[in-house]
Amino acid sequence: MNEVGYGIIGCGTIAPIHAESIKDAENARLVAVSDVREENAKDLAARYGAEAYTDYTELLARDDIHAVSLCIPSGMRAEIGEACANAGKHILSEKPLEINTKRIDRLINAADANGVKLGCIFQFRFSQGAEKVHGALKEGRFGKLVLGDAYIKWYRSQAYYDSGAWRGTRELDGGGCLMNQGVHQIDLLISFFGKVKEVTAQTALVAHTGLEVEDLATAMLTFENGAMGVIEGSTAIYPGHAARVEVHGTAGSAIVEDGNLSYWQFQEDRPEDEAIRAAFAGEGDFGSGAADPISSLKHEGHLRQIRDFTQAIIEDRMPAVDGREGRHAVALIEAIYESADNGGKRVTL
Ligand SMILES: NC(=O)c1ccc[n+]([C@@H]2O[C@H](COP(=O)([O-])OP(=O)(O)OC[C@H]3O[C@@H](n4cnc5c(N)ncnc54)[C@H](O)[C@@H]3O)[C@@H](O)[C@H]2O)c1
């Protein structure tokens, strides 16, 4: 195969970012889109010269579709993903992969059983800031890892939560400021530090009405490698700040903000470090979700990940972020909720 035909299921807020990325990615072509709301499907299809369906099973019946982007509400992906896998389609799911690990395992098992690839969108993994940190980690430049923190101090208006019946529900959003918004940085933190061993946490709903989930959360972490850390997340903070992941070790520190390096310092400075600091100053190429989910989001991150997923299909290799990778952040958030629901008790993962 030298061209991957894509379908998109769910034509709401994030879907145009997928359509634009598929258009720009080499060896990828958008064939059809589907949404239960006909006008959503038709609008997106018209903009990208694709076919529109209201019933996604018709999209899955097409032989010229090899992979499907799942842009539906988070808690709908197990059933629809199973249908995709059973139809032999590779699955690229939006984050979080599903709303809990039990439902994620259904997706992983369905993909394995049908021999299709399962990828989870975590576009910040493809940011230059994250790539630089991964490179320095591989070389041991941070020394012993000591503290790893994720700060997601964001703002979402009441109108945002009111804009979709699924938003802020346990069944379809799966959680609030951590499961929906903070999951990106939580994933990044785990990709830097490895898995978390123990957590204690608290959550609250402080600024929005009608939500079944949290808009404020803090968690204290112990990683399997012995490092400690914290997660602070909110969608109640005006005006919303850049999402930050901090990596601190005995020999160096780095801070990634919205995918951009904002701090980069090592005990053993190298000549290229100054150039790295200079290159990363200023606005990043991914945009920010600080105040709004989409208006400032650029498609560069999705484009890089869709390029990788497309090549993974063509070369028959694993995508950079597969289903098992996508599962880690949700497993940690599940443990955070368990701790918070039980008065902050220590939960072992
Ligand atoms: N990676 C990112 O930065 C990012 C940003 C925003 C949203 N997301 C994720 O994308 C997913 C969708 O979020 P959104 O904000 O676009 O939601 P949305 O509500 O704007 O869009 C969801 C769409 O799915 C459609 N839909 C529902 N059931 C369907 C079905 N059975 N078949 C076909 N279509 C169906 C709805 O009609 C709607 O148009 C969520 O999981 C969210 O977490 C990711």
Residues 185, 96 within the same domain: no
**pLDDT over 70 (residue 139):** yes
Domain of residue 311, CATH code? 3.40.50.720
In a domain, 136, yes or no: yes
Q: Are residues 217 and 236 in the same domain?
A: yes
State whether 162 and 236 are in the same domain. yes
Shared-domain flag, residues 98 and 173: no
Residue 343 lies in a domain: yes
Number of structural domains (the chain) is 2
Task: Say if residue 290's pLDDT is above 70.
Answer: yes
Q: Is residue 324 part of a domain?
A: no
Residue from 9, 11, 14 to probe ligand 1 pocket by mutation (most atoms less than 8 Å from CB)? 14
Average pLDDT over every residue of 74-79: 98
Q: Is residue 229 part of a domain?
A: yes
179 and 95 in one domain?
A: no
Quick one: 87 and 129 in the same domain?
no
Residues spanned by the domain of 44:
4-122+299-319
The verdict on 147 and 247 lying in the same domain is yes
String of DSSP letters for 17-66: HHHHHHHHSTTEEEEEEE-SSHHHHHHHHHHHT-EEESSHHHHHT-TT--
**Ligand 1 pocket member 37 (CB < 6 A):** yes
pLDDT computed for residue 282 by the predictor: 62
198 and 312 together in one domain: no
When pLDDT is averaged across residues 35-57 and rounded to a whole number, the result is 98
Residue 105 lies in a domain: yes
What CATH number corresponds to the domain at position 176? Answer: 3.30.360.10
For residues 171 and 31, membership in a common domain is answered with: no
Closest ligand 1 atom number to CA of residue 297: 3
Looking at the fold, whether 62 and 210 belong to one and the same domain comes out as no
Clarify whether residues 205 and 286 are in a common domain: yes
What average pLDDT does range 262-282 have in this prediction? Answer: 89
pLDDT confidence tier of residue 283, bands split at 50, 70 and 90? low
Ligand 1 pocket, 95 CB below 6 A? Answer: yes
Q: What residues have CB less than 8 Å from 300, skipping those under 6 apart?
A: 285, 286
Same-domain check for residues 173 and 294: yes
Q: Tell how far the Cα of 252 is from the centroid of ligand 1, in angstroms.
A: 39
Please tell me the pTM assigned to this model.
0.97
